[in-house]
Chains A and B, each alone.
Chain A
C-alpha cells in the first residue's frame, strides 16, 4: 500500500470533468511538501502535467489543474478528451522515509 493514496480508477464522458485525489499524511503532503503530477501511457515516457502543486509546464493544456490542501492534493481534468486516457501519478517527498514518493496511480478512462 502506497504512502500516497490515489483511487485506482476514475472515468468520465468526453467533455466532462474528473478529479483525482492524492491523500498523504503529516510527513509528506501535510508537512507542506509540494505535489507534482505525471501522465503515463504504458510503454511510453511519463509526462509532467503539474508541478509545484498547481503550475503547468509549457505545452500542457489548461484543462489540467492542480491543488493542495492540508494533507491532500488533487488533479482535475476538465473538458475530458480521448487523449487524456492514461495513468496519472502524484509525487511528493516524505521526511520520515527520507525519500521521494509516488502514489500507486489512477487510471483515467474516457467512456
Chain B
C-alpha cells in the first residue's frame, strides 16, 4: 500500500519552473523529517534536499541550492519541491521519502513515494 502519493511531474522548458507535491496518507506526517531523492533514467539515486518535521530546517545538494525550495504543509500532510531555473540535467524521476532522522549526518529513508518524472527539454 502506497502511503506517499506524488503529483506534479511533467515537461518544462529550460529555465522554467515546476512544483512537485507528496501527500502522506498517515496521521504521523508532522513527526517526520522528509527528503527528496532523484534518479536520472538509467542512473543511480541522488539525494536532493531535506526538511525538518516543523519545516524550519532545510538542507540542499550543491547542484540545486538556490534553485529548488523544499517545504511542507503539516496541516495537509503534504511535502513540496519548488523547482526554478530548471536545467536539462535536472531531468529525472523525483521521489519523496519519509526520513528517520537519527542525527544531522545519520538519516535513512523508510517509506518512499512512487516517483514523478520531470523532463526539462526545449
A57 and B110 contact, CB distance less than 8 A = yes
Asked if B44 and A105 make an inter-chain contact with CB atoms under 8 angstroms apart, the answer reads: yes
Which of the residues B105, B112, B113 comes within 8 Å of A95, measured between beta carbons?
Answer: B105
A33-B106, A93-B105, A93-B106 given; A102·B47 CB < 8 A: yes
Interface residues on B, range: 20 to 34
B43-83 contacts to A, CB under 8 A, are 43-47, 50, 61-62
- Complex contacts, A47 vs chain B, CB 8 Å: 112
The listed residue (A34, A45, A103) touching B106 by CB distance below 8 A is A34
CB distance from A82 to the nearest CB of B (A): 22
* Pairwise interchain contact B112-A100, C-beta atoms closer than 8 A: no
* Chain B interface, DSSP helix/strand/loop, else mixed: strand
Of B45, B50, B107, B111, the most chain A CB neighbours within 10 A belong to: B45
B112 touches A102 (CB 8 A): no
**Is A104 close to B, CB under 8 A?**
yes
Residues of B within 8 A of A (CB): 2, 4, 35, 37, 43-47, 50, 61-62, 95, 97, 100, 102, 105-115
Q: Hey, which bits of chain A sit against chain B, CB under 8 A?
A: 2, 33-34, 36, 38, 40, 43-48, 51-52, 57, 89, 91, 93, 95, 99-105
* For the complex of A and B, 8 pairs with smallest distance between CB atoms: A45-B112, A100-B47, A36-B108, A102-B45, A93-B105, A51-B108, A104-B44, A105-B44
User: Could you list some 18 contacts between A and B, CB below 8 A?
Assistant: A33-B105, A33-B106, A43-B115, A46-B97, A48-B109, A51-B100, A52-B108, A89-B45, A93-B107, A95-B105, A99-B47, A99-B62, A100-B47, A100-B107, A102-B37, A102-B47, A103-B44, A104-B43
